[in-house]
Amino acid sequence: MTTIPVLDGREIPPETRLQEIMARLAALGPGESLVLVAPHDPNKLLRMLLSQLPGRLMWGPLAKGPNAWRWQFVGREPAPRTVCDYLIWDHRRMEEILADGLSMAQAGNWDEAQQRCAEHGIALQHHAFIEDAILFPAYDKATGNLPDGPTALMMEEHHEVRAGIERIQRAAKARDLAELEDALDALVAVAAEHHAKEEEILFPAIDETIPQPNLTQLVENMLLA
């Protein structure tokens, strides 16, 4: 089970909220994580983090409203950003969320299992979106938009991944453990192969093709999506 410290920004007075959150995030060492709960979309905070703590953090969503926005942050060494660094971290993060959801369901903690499965759905939908809308078009542009290039296949596989998310959430909602285990096995099989292709071939190719500082800019565009 993964236990990450939580900072609930809704409990901090508005006049000191931003400074307190910035201080907690600035204190994260490489590999240290924190979940922030915010009463609104944290996009302004994310922009500030990129300008005031350049290269020091990565993040991804767990919930996007309507009452609470939850974002997971991790500290990193302040080196130039790469696609491998960011998106492989996000792959591992999603796998951990899903494993947690399954453990909770197996223990009979269905409320928590449903929340973890919902968080996994948000994280994976967001991940597929930033690849489809930002990463793959940038790579296609850099390589001259090769017809039948590797990004077309990856986008096709995202459809299968999205169908897998819906099946998992239906099973969690119905509190059907056998169906949840089957749905998870099916998604893990598709995602493991998909992620391996990205991690071993596509992401390293993108990191080699797009020079710095454009590569850092590309990753920052995904972080702000």
Q: Where along the sequence are the contacts to Fe ion (CB under 5 A)?
A: 131, 198
Neighbouring-strand partners of residue 75: 30, 57
Structure tokens that stand for 106 in this block: 């197996």
Q: Which is nearer to Fe ion, 111 or 156 (CB)?
A: 156
Nearer to Fe ion, 170 or 197 (CB): 197
* Least distance in angstroms from the C-beta of 167 to Fe ion: 18
Identity of the residue, 131 or 220, whose beta carbon is nearer to Fe ion in the bound complex: 131
CB of 198 to Fe ion, least distance (A): 5
Checking DSSP bridges between strand 6-8 and strand 33-38, what pairing results, if any?
A: parallel
Nearer to Fe ion by Cβ, of 36 and 128: the residue is 128
Least gap, CB of 39 to Fe ion (angstroms): 30
Report how far residue 101's alpha carbon sits from residue 187's, in angstroms, rounded to the nearest whole number: 14
Instruction: Report the nearest approach of Fe ion to the CB of residue 94 (Å).
Output: 9
Closer CB to Fe ion, 103 or 221, in the complex: 221
d(CA 212, CA 50): 16
Closest distance to Fe ion from the beta carbon of 58 (Å)? 14
